[in-house]
Amino acid sequence: MRKTIAAGNWKMNLDFDEGRQLFHALTKLGHDDKATEVILAPPAPYLSLLGYTNTSSVHFAAQNCHHEDAGAYTGEWSARMLASLNIKHCIVGHSERRAQYGETNKQIAQKTQQCYAHGIRPILCCGETLAEREAGDHFNIVTEQINAVLKTIEAKQIRTLIIAYEPVWAIGTGVTASAAQAQEMHSFIRKSIASSYDRELAEQVHILYGGSVKPDNAKELFSLPDVDGGLVGGASLDYESFKGIIEAAI
């Protein structure tokens, strides 16, 4: 039985006090961590400062890590460094990183390997642009993005992979994929993993939906058979709206 995950990606938003208040308020919700996992991805400078401990009911993710272990990469941080802060999750391949920083599938695969090398569970983002969907290429694009990573990691690592399907046209736009579109892609991803590996392994992979998730659409999305929760941007910045999304995940 897969847990439902409500993951909030703050991106480059909230000052430190705003972030701290939001984090502490969310830890008081008292959700059952065994059934629902709440993850926050604050800006990197806050990761060691927000008072996070591994016993907290709210877990932390980094929004990114470098594809190398260490070196002369000014302004970057590695999975090894995240592990030294006890961070257990890391988003890799967010569409904003792909589009704004030119991250390639190869680098994203290397980042994923770095995460596994340091005991960090990757949240691998994938998703097509509007033009790619309109051209009927969405299944090919997502397959390419996921397979570039899967072929570089071991089957036992895939069991703990979190995939976030985030159609680019739905991110920050207020346009959400319909329940049918989300289920169609999530089921496609799970079936592809089952056919490359096996059904039992595919059933363990978490597949989150991302793209304008809000309290009023979260329940419908999270109740779909292959949607295991959400990766949430804008709506994770406000206590009431992220609380509503966490409640939809319970």
Tokens of 85: 């802060």
C-beta of 201 vs 244, nearer to ligand PEP: 244
Name which of residues 143 to 202 contact ligand PEP (CB under 6 A): 166, 171-172
- Stretch 54-73: interaction string toward ligand PEP, x if CB under 6 A: --------------------
Nearest-CB residue for ligand PEP = 233
Identity of the residue numbered 241: S
Tell me how far, at minimum, the Cβ of 214 lies from ligand PEP, in Å: 8
C-beta of 9 vs 112, nearer to ligand PEP: 9
- Interacting stretch for ligand PEP, rule CB under 6 A, among 46-54, 67-75, 140-148, 232-240? 232-240
Q: Which of 4, 5, 6, 9 binds ligand PEP (CB under 6 A)?
A: 9
From 31, 166, 186, 206, the catalytic residue: 166
179 vs 217: CA distance, rounded Å: 9
Beta bridge partners of 90: 62, 122
Q: Which of 233, 245, 246, 248 binds ligand PEP (CB under 6 A)?
A: 233
C-beta of 83 vs 226, nearer to ligand PEP: 226
C-beta of 11 vs 159, nearer to ligand PEP: 11
- Interacting stretch for ligand PEP, rule CB under 6 A, among 12-20, 25-33, 154-162, 204-212? 204-212
Catalytic (active site) residue 166: yes
Q: Which of 234, 242, 246, 248 binds ligand PEP (CB under 6 A)?
A: 234
Is the CB of residue 61 less than 8 Å from the CB of residue 91? Answer: yes
C-beta of 47 vs 232, nearer to ligand PEP: 232
Name which of residues 210 to 229 contact ligand PEP (CB under 6 A): 210-213
Catalytic (active site) residue 94: yes
SS3 sequence of the chain: CCCEEEEEECCCCCCHHHHHHHHHHHHCCCCCCCCEEEEEECCHHHCCCCCCCCCCCEEEEECCCCCCCCCCCCCCCCHHHHHHCCCCEEEECCHHHHHHHCCCHHHHHHHHHHHHHCCCEEEEEECCCHHHHHCCCHHHHHHHHHHHHHCCCCHHHHCCCEEEECCHHHCCCCCCCCHHHHHHHHHHHHHHHHHHCCHHHHCCCEEEEECCCCHHHHHHHHCCCCCCEEEECHHHCCHHHHHHHHHHHC
**Where in the sequence numbering do the catalytic residues fall?**
94, 166
Which positions touch ligand PEP (CB under 6 A)?
9, 166, 171-172, 210-213, 231-235
